[in-house]
Chain A
Amino acid sequence: MLRRIADSLFWAARYIERAEWRARLVSVNHHLLIEGPAPAGNAWSSLLAISGDRELFEQHYARLDESSVLNFFVLDERNPSSIRSCIHAARANARSLRHRISSELWLELNTLHLDARTWSPARMESGDVFEFFSSLQERFYRVAGVINGTLPRGLGFDFLVLGQVLERAENVTRLLDIKYHYLLPRVEDVGGPLDLLQWASVLRSASALEAYRLTYGNMIRTDHVVELLLFDGTFPRSARFCVDCLEAALRRIAQSAPDPAATPVPLASDALAGLLASRSAGDVIASGLHDFLLGVQEECQRISSAVFDQYLRFE
């Protein structure tokens, strides 16, 4: 497989995942505004914290309100991580891949891209924002379905998986980190209604609320949320699940080399796997969740650049 092709697959998947993640994040926080006790500004402010875009936002917007936030996260092409930017980037990568992906996937991404071009601020304001996000979410599920249902499980698929799970693992750890350390500055609020509501919305952002209830019941506890989102090997958006997929994909890629034995052992993802396999939520909360999450993120980035060096670098 050509490096250019593998690179495009990797990034197409990363951008699809990022767009979907952003859509879910914005929609959950938008929802929080409607039923939450917190002042509106607070939810938008958390959103900027979670996404890490506060600086960029403040460069371009004077006010922090619903329309500016929606515009920034959904439409603004000055924001490289806006949903529209991510969709365009995913589609641009897919365009040079047309002969390597199914025509169904191309059509799906291409129509999504064409639709995204027609989105307007007016639609965000006048229209039903909830409806907008739920139909957008359906589109992402359709993309995921087409990927699963039409792509052969070969080398190309493995590079898609790499892009997807690396993005997902980074996003979920970042979400936990921000919630745990920044969103509730006053210690006396821990366990209060706002805290619970924020944890519930964290779970919702990861489409994990229902999975949580199935396993842990109705009561939301920090250690259980951490357990589910970091260490549960069965939940498809947990860090552990992502790392398992990552390891398997890396192994398959390495084995596909003409002479696997002679190929330098790539990309030890062992460190990351070790981090996630040997610990439990109780441990990491006791010894410092923030450092742990930071460790996971650093490992993800290290693997990302190792993948680039070994398989994708052009020159």
Chain B
Amino acid sequence: MNAQAVSKPVPVSDAYRVAAGLFDEMFDAERKPRPGCVRVVEDLLGRDRQRLAELRARADGMFLRMGVTFNVYGLDEGSEKIFPFDPIPRVIDAATWAQLEAGLVQRVRALNAFIADVYGAGEALKDGIVPRDLVLGCSQYRRAGVGVRPPHGIFVTVAGIDLVRGADGRFYVLEDNVRTPSGVSYVIQNRVVTTRLMPELVRASGVRSVEGYPGDLLESLCELAPRGQSRPQVALLTPGLHNSAFFEHVFLSHQMGIELVEGHDLVCVDHKLFMKTVHGLKQIDVLYRRIDDDFLDPVVFRPDSVLGVAGLMAAVRAGNVAIANGVGTGIADDKAIFAYTPAIVRYYLGEEPLLPIVETHVLTDPDVRRMVLRDLDRFVIKPTGASGGYGVIIGPKATYRELIEARERIEREPSGFIAQPVVQLSVHPTLLGDAANGAGPLGPRHVDLRPFVLLGKRPRVLSGGLTRVALREGSLVVNSSQGGGSKDTWVLER
């Protein structure tokens, strides 16, 4: 090859521009790389866009082969759907992460204490920290959970806390997920892929490992063993292969080396839970369930459910099996309760919250309601019962008609909604274009972050979490169903 044929790459970052008023995860206001980002900017963004597009194409191929093929081959229509992956990692420096980690642990411990209290003595309700009616009337409140005391008082074994970064560069909690949070398998798979795509960069950057998660999860689950067995029988309960998170259920059970069971594999006898094996019934000590409360036990919850097993709650109450997460934990991630979470942290831990929450207005207060209704188009309105973005109205983007309807519904049932200001999510350099249309330029796209916290005898936080990216320009919606993708998240050793 002669020297002239090698043209100097045109750094993909040259044409990258960010609108004023947005926080960029990778560059500061002077367009200098932020702490920890220098290597990635030089090494990855110094390349031309074709080379980045090649990385992306190789990543897509790996996802297909590695078994995210579930979506591709699993569906009868064989629809080619992989979670879009952006090859440019999101970097979090060690100092920032240390603060986040402390805030996350604090938050999940407080939420866990709140749940234990609600289903136990109810002190916070007596003391008026959270209105009693709000808790008892919450759609996620489960009477069947009253009086259940899990080992070590752990109700929330796994939590996924959705964080967003505002224009001020601070992280805010947008939402808690303490029922059956999903997405961790993507975190681990993303890392497998980036390690193969850019091994030198990963090593040189000193990225903290995420592969210990399944082992940590298993340890946390084992700690729930009702009689303190050192090697309890643990199983993961899945709704089955039609569930959208089935791939994750397969992945985690495989990684942990535990049985993946469906409702009809289980039976309760004498207030004990068993699975049906070829050599008869085998007792299960800890059940990591990935189905909602409502489907767990047709005796106690929805009688038409075939996903769970009759008698499970009785076995739980008898102390013969532990389930993770516990029943009724949804009261702690309900949107109506969310506004009270800073008070919950102060009440149970006697500490100031380290992580602020996105400002949240409870509409049962007439003055607050009037204030919100006056400027409805400046707020995000969320129904309190729902999750997964269902029924959310984003004021600035809503039609006149939608706003009128929202106003009527709020006035009819103020407790059914909360209002939050529109948060300008931080942006991250993202490679545009796609496999079909070729390599695009680099553009700023909104991102969020879902770290995962495990609560056991000691709390453990997975280093990083799932960074979701809204691939459509200007979109604030990062959900995969709405054109969202993901990035690998790098927490640096130092």
Contact = CB atoms under 8 A, between A and B. Distances in A.
B264 A2 contact: no
Interface stretch (B276-284, B421-429, B482-490): B276-284
Given A95-B74, A95-B241, A99-B260, A6 B278 contact: yes
B73 interface: yes
Interface in B242-282: 250, 253-254, 259-262, 264-265, 275-279
B262 A4 contact: yes
Contacts of A4: 262, 264-265, 276
A99 B278 contact: no
A4 B262 CA distance: 9
A257 interface: yes
A257 B275 contact: no
Given A2-B259, A155-B278, A314-B276, A114 B253 contact: no
A99 B254 contact: yes
Contacts of A256: 279
A312 B484 CA distance: 43
Nearest to B69: A107
A96 B279 contact: no
B67 interface: yes
B273 to A, nearest CB: 14
A1 interface: yes
Contacts of B264: 4, 314
A3 B282 CA distance: 11
Given A98-B250, A103-B67, A1 B278 contact: yes
A98 B70 CA distance: 9
Contact of A114 (B67, B73, B254, B277): B73
B277 A3 contact: yes
Interface centre among A98, A106, A258 (most CB of B within 10 A): A98
Given A99-B250, A99-B253, A110-B73, A3 B260 contact: no
Contacts of B74: 95
Nearest to B260: A99
Nearest to A7: B278
A263 interface: yes
A3 B73 contact: no
A207 to B, nearest CB: 30
A23 B468 CA distance: 48
Category for how many chain B residues contact A: 20 to 34
Contact of B277 (A2, A96, A98, A263): A2
Given A95-B241, A258-B279, A2 B265 contact: yes
B78 interface: yes
A260 to B, nearest CB: 10
Interface string B279-305: 100000000000000000000000000
Given A1-B278, A256-B279, A312-B278, A114 B262 contact: no
A257 B279 contact: yes
Contacts of B277: 1-3
A263 B276 contact: no
Interface centre among A3, A95, A96, A312 (most CB of B within 10 A): A3
A217 B209 CA distance: 65
Contacts of B262: 4
A98 B380 CA distance: 42
Contacts of B69: 107
Nearest to A258: B279
A275 interface: no
A266 to B, nearest CB: 11
Contacts of A110: 73
Contacts of A267: none
A314 B266 CA distance: 10
Interface string A158-182: 0100000000000000000000000
16 contacts: A2-B261, A2-B265, A2-B278, A4-B262, A95-B241, A99-B250, A99-B253, A99-B260, A103-B67, A107-B69, A107-B73, A114-B73, A159-B278, A256-B279, A312-B278, A314-B264
Interface of B: 67, 69-70, 73-74, 78, 240-241, 250, 253-254, 259-262, 264-265, 275-279
Give the 5 A-B CB pairs with smallest separation, nearest first: A311-B278, A99-B250, A257-B279, A3-B276, A110-B73
Interface of A: 1-4, 6, 95-96, 98-99, 103, 106-107, 110, 114, 155, 159, 253, 256-258, 263, 311-312, 314
Given A3-B277, A98-B250, A258-B279, 17 more contacts: A1-B278, A2-B259, A2-B261, A2-B265, A2-B275, A2-B278, A3-B265, A3-B278, A96-B240, A98-B70, A106-B73, A107-B73, A114-B73, A114-B78, A155-B278, A256-B279, A311-B279
